[in-house]
Amino acid sequence: MKPKRMFLSVYLALTIISACKTGGGQNDTSGLQHAADCTVPKTMESLARSCGNGRCEVDKSESAANCPRDCIDKNKRIASVYAEAHICPSETTVHTPATPDEIASIVKKSGQNGRKIKVIGTRHASSDIQCTSANGETIVMEKFGKSMRIEKFQDADSVLVETGATMSEIAHFLEQKGYALPPRVPGVGSINIGGFVAVGAHGSNLKDSASISSSVLELELVVADGTIKRFDKTNTSVDQWKALRSSLGLLGIMTKIRLEIRKSYHMQMEIREFPESILSQGPDKFYKALNGCEFAFSHYVRLQKKFYVTCGWESKKPLTHPDLENTLFKPHLANVNIDLTATTNYLLQKAACNESSAEFLEKTISSTRARNPWIQYKGTDGKVQSLTEGVGLWHRMMTTLLEGNYRLTFSTMDWEVAVPKSQWLNASQDMLNFITKHNIILPTIGVVSRFDRVNGDSLFAPSAADEHFALNEPLVLLEMPVFVPFGLSAEQLEKYILPYRTFFLSLIEKYQARPHIGKNDNSLLLSDVVKKRLSSSIKRFSKVRATMDPKGIFNNQFAENMGL
């Protein structure tokens, strides 16, 4: 790492801002990437600089409508962490219990009063799945316990976790005790374990299931009558156990989760890159390029026409450095004293509304990453060292905790479906055609692919087995994290996201892809296309729900609209 990195980083930030202020000129009106009438009014620019700082600044034109992150009443309204992408439609009574008994008391009273109740964790979903029905109540797990303990369970090593814990907190605890999770962890570790399990979320794993559902050994829930019960494969039916391991928050409120664990391990990781033309050589060629990878995270950069793959595998080699980590989502800036929040929001806002700015930003980000690979550590002199290959602790190489200046404060709509390997080449070509046709540029990370295998451990994970997905069939999880500009009207927002929704619905129809229930928007998840694709899962889940919650106390409008 060069000694002048700090100066160059500041210079780079100022260069980007300057270029984006002037890039494109008045004749560049590609507008919201899809709308030809975007003019980036001053209000939108102001919001991009101020929204997300935790203060509702009326003098900067902020309001609950255009900056809900700062301005909504959080005691009455629920907004996702991607706040501008989704806000629950109805006001609610918010509870923040700290113990299972407190939750049980709330559930009993809600049932007696005939009110619906919904539980949410760290609010990563971008649909009404996290919303209670009108006049309902909401339990937010932000004050709930995070205690953990390691113990044997049914002859397996396990960790029993209170559901207030995040995935990063669990990973750090396990590593301190000499244990680990398999590659079933998220890239961003600030996700609550309860929500992660509820939607059958995943990591990336080329050799085994990447779904967290596959690691769940036991669940403790507050059920519909307000009692606390434990469930595992020995005291449930096959479908009930599968439903519980991806419950969507509709079967009860999880208070403890037991996960299978293993001994800690080192992960050797390297960065590989391939030209876009690798797709023309067939899916087997790309998979062969992943030879040796157990964990793999691929991101495609359109203007460079390249795939970058972060590839990892278990290794007995000594650590390159105790603090070596994968910083793809959290690049070290060598303690540069700049406001990353305001800078990032402003640049992304300009890029969403201006083709020249988007091209410049993507080229700048990707070239900076190329010069400063994201396998990094800080030396004793405080200088950041960047490598293309190294050996680190498992949790540092697969997942990242965003905090401080790296917290996510801009708005994103995350689209994702699971596509069978046999259809991945066709789906990837469709992706290239789509982003070319609409001139899609995704500056932050590009188009993401992660890897999984079909498993029979849940009903709603993207990798769940059904009549279209055969057990152990390789899958590719195709994902587009899309920045959502600040200050859009409802009509502008719909116009902006419609092409993405249409594209991902086409993948579901053409290739029998399964959507990630914790991502995507309401209109996709509640479409006839998705309800038809998931009809067998919906039918089986509904039978379990009718038994466990006959009065529908945990039901919500989203579930009813989906047919649950």
- Residue 202's SS3 state is strand
Q: For 229-294, what is the HEC assignment?
A: EEECCCCCCHHHHHHHCCCCCCCCEEEEEEEECEECCEEEEEEEEEEHHHHHHCHHHHHHHCCCCC
pLDDT at 181: 94
Nearest to 103 by CA among 207, 250, 252: 252
pLDDT at 28: 37
For the four alpha carbons of 271, 272, 275 and 278, in that order, the dihedral sign comes to negative
pLDDT at 407: 46
Cα angle 491, 32, 62 (rounded to 5 degrees) comes to 65
- For tokens 């498992």, name the residue: 394
pLDDT at 152: 95
DSSP string, 452-476: EE-BSS-SSSTTB--SSS-TT-EEE
CA distances (Å), 245 to each of 162, 201, 422, 443, in order? 16, 10, 27, 35
Q: How far apart are CA 71 and CA 514, in angstroms?
A: 35
Residue 286 makes CB contacts below 8 A (sequence gap 6+) with 274, 278, 279, 307, 424
Which residues in the chain land under pLDDT 70? 1-44, 82-85, 331-343, 401-410
**Torsion on CA atoms 140, 142, 145, 150, rounded to nearest 10:** 100
Q: How far apart are CA 49 and CA 411, in angstroms?
A: 13
> Bridge partners of 298?
309, 449
